[in-house]
A and B are shown apart, each in its own frame.
Chain A
Amino acid sequence: MGFIGMLNPLERGFGLVPTSGRVASGIESTAFAREAGVVENVVRAGYGGERSTNGLINRVGATASDIDALLSKATLTDERAATGAGRAPLSFEDKLVVQGDASRAKIVQSIGDMVQPSLEKILELDPHARVGFRGSLVDGLKNETKLGPNGERVAFDGTVTTKNGKPYTDPQGYDADFFIISDDLAAQFSKRAFFKDVTKLDKTLKSTFQEFGDAMQANPLLQGMKRERPSFRIYSTEELSKKSGSQYYFLTDEKR
């Protein structure tokens, strides 16, 4: 599987990223992936825009030149590189993202392992569907509407004090916005349905997703995750192409 249409710019962190050209995996090759031992997976998964034959996921959104720029920043987390000259200082947001990279890599790896039964069931509905997730766990930061006590951006697993300027009282924690790209499945919903939940197409998916959610909740690595049954939202190719932020894509066991 290759290029996912016209890709969207990453907002922050690994960010930058114009939408043209070939895709690449991104900054994970150092701070994010190296510490978690998934460097090869992530780099192979993304660089050049081709789906990995043994990787976990495919991060899309960057051109090769972007990756060079990103790696330049990323290596600041490496002590040897940090002493070098000529590196651009990391912004506050970039530091937040980089500091969370190791734990994010482990979380993503765990989710990639636990999602397999759900993935298989979804692919029974459409073997050509692409499944992944987006959101703060991918970007490393919560969205700009959720801020910390001093009005600062918050890491994906940070504590939110305000949302849209008002005190935040909902449960803390992060989640993953799972999605399915499938024109065939999207076509089975009304065009007026903006949130297309795949369980409406097959009731049995509910129990599969519940088991997936239970497995995630039982995993100590994911203790900061919100406790809810995961839902998989269907997008047509066109719909997802309009979304900002980046995405991770799951690979099935047989392709990992």
Chain B
Amino acid sequence: MSEYLINDIIAEVEIFSTKPLIAVAQRLEELIDGINFTPEQTGRFEEVPAFIATDIQSGMEFVLLGIPEGEVSDAYIFEFSIETELPILEFKRIAPAFINRLIVEKNVNSRGYLDYSDELAAALSANGVVASRALP
């Protein structure tokens, strides 16, 4: 399968850490229909605490990354990603409703991704979860 035939969808936002990580995970579950976060325990993110969820229908993976013990930060990182052979508008149809609403046709960015970070941040903020695109 040729790499350029795969749509690589990604979004990465910061969510202010005014609430515990698990509370934010629960709020995201409420917003994004059909996902259930579980603590990541395989060590995939090493010492960084994380919750992960996968949407069965679309295969999208959602990750909420927390703040490691001993570190100081004012935000968590929330991201989703999916590699799909479907055209973007076909994929949109099988995505969770919350995600469906923010997916539009766009060009890949310089890193090769269809990046929906801005759209995700706006959608979360509109629903009371203050978020912003993760920027350097």
List residues of A whose CB falls within 8 A of some B CB: 163, 170-171, 175, 177, 187-195, 200-204, 206-207, 226, 228, 231, 233
Contacts and interface: CB of A to CB of B under 8 A. Distances in A.
Interface of B: 3, 8, 10, 12, 14, 41-46, 48, 50, 65, 67-68, 71, 73-77, 83, 108, 111-113, 134-136
Contact of A190 (B3, B44, B134): B134
B136 A188 contact: yes
Contacts of A187: 136
A203 B41 contact: no
A136 to B, nearest CB: 10
A93 B48 CA distance: 26
Contacts of B134: 189-190, 192-193
Contacts, number: 61
Contact of A228 (B44, B50, B74, B136): B44
A203 B112 contact: yes
A231 B111 CA distance: 17
Given A189-B134, A192-B75, A203 B46 contact: no
A207 to B, nearest CB: 6
A226 B41 CA distance: 14
A204 B108 CA distance: 13
Greatest chain B CB density within 10 A among A190, A191, A231, A233 is at A190
B77 A204 contact: no
A177 B111 CA distance: 24
Contact of B112 (A175, A191, A193, A204): A204
A87 B76 CA distance: 51
